[in-house]
Amino acid sequence: MLGSIKKAMQHVVGSTTLVTLGEHRGSVRGIAFSADGRFVATASGDNTAKIWNLELGRHHLTLGSVPENLTGGGVGSGHKHIVTSVSFAPDGRLLASGSYDKTLRIWSLLDGSTLAIMSGHMQIVTSTQWHPTASAVLTASVDSTVRLWRLSKDGSEDWSCFPWGNGVILEFAFAHTQV
């Protein structure tokens, strides 16, 4: 986890900081680059995800809103608890986010709206990854399952659940191969 980063995300090459981004009210829990490298998404303990424009070095879009009282429970829009992971769709138009609220959310990066909320995990969603070529998202959870969510245009949920033994899955990635 990236909790020790505390309200800032740095993109570092060698020993040179290219840009520092910081507007979250909670710790940064996860980061992801867009396929074209122009944007980065952050997942935060303030219950939001943010999109940052690396070319301009500034905040671009906030997904969800921070509750009035982070420690007292309050509810904002979007995820109802800490956002743990984020992943850009291959075409860069959508973002998937996972949360302590046990859900996967799909967001439009055009206007920041929630397009889908998917439930099924029994515990915290720890990792989200878009399939590199398909309309599908893979999630992992503290409930020792991996779920593959196929996204359809009519909004219906189609998913498969794969038990993963007795261990907790914190992170995973798709292997990218070239033919």
Residue 98 within a domain = yes
CATH number (domain holding residue 52): 2.130.10.10
Domain count, the chain: 1
Number of helices (H) and strands (E) in the chain: give both, helices first: 0, 14
Domain residues for the domain of 113 are 23-163
Tokens representing 179 are 């033919």
Tokens representing 31 are 């980061």
Looking at residue 96, its pLDDT comes to 95
Looking at residue 170, its pLDDT comes to 59
**Which among 155, 77, 152 is positioned nearest to 113, based on CA atoms?**
77
Looking at residue 3, its pLDDT comes to 37
CB within 8 Å of 47: residues ≥ 6 apart: 26, 64, 65, 66, 67, 70, 76, 78, 79, 80, 81, 82, 83, 99
Looking at residue 84, its pLDDT comes to 94
Q: Mean pLDDT of successive 10-residue segments in the chain (179 residues)? A: 37 56 79 93 89 89 74 65 93 94 92 90 92 86 87 63 61 57
Residue 64 within a domain = yes
Looking at residue 128, its pLDDT comes to 94
Looking at residue 37, its pLDDT comes to 92
- Reduce the DSSP state of residue 59 to 3 states and report it: strand
Looking at residue 171, its pLDDT comes to 60
Q: What is the Cα–Cα distance from 7 to 145, expressed in whole angstroms?
A: 30
Looking at residue 151, its pLDDT comes to 81
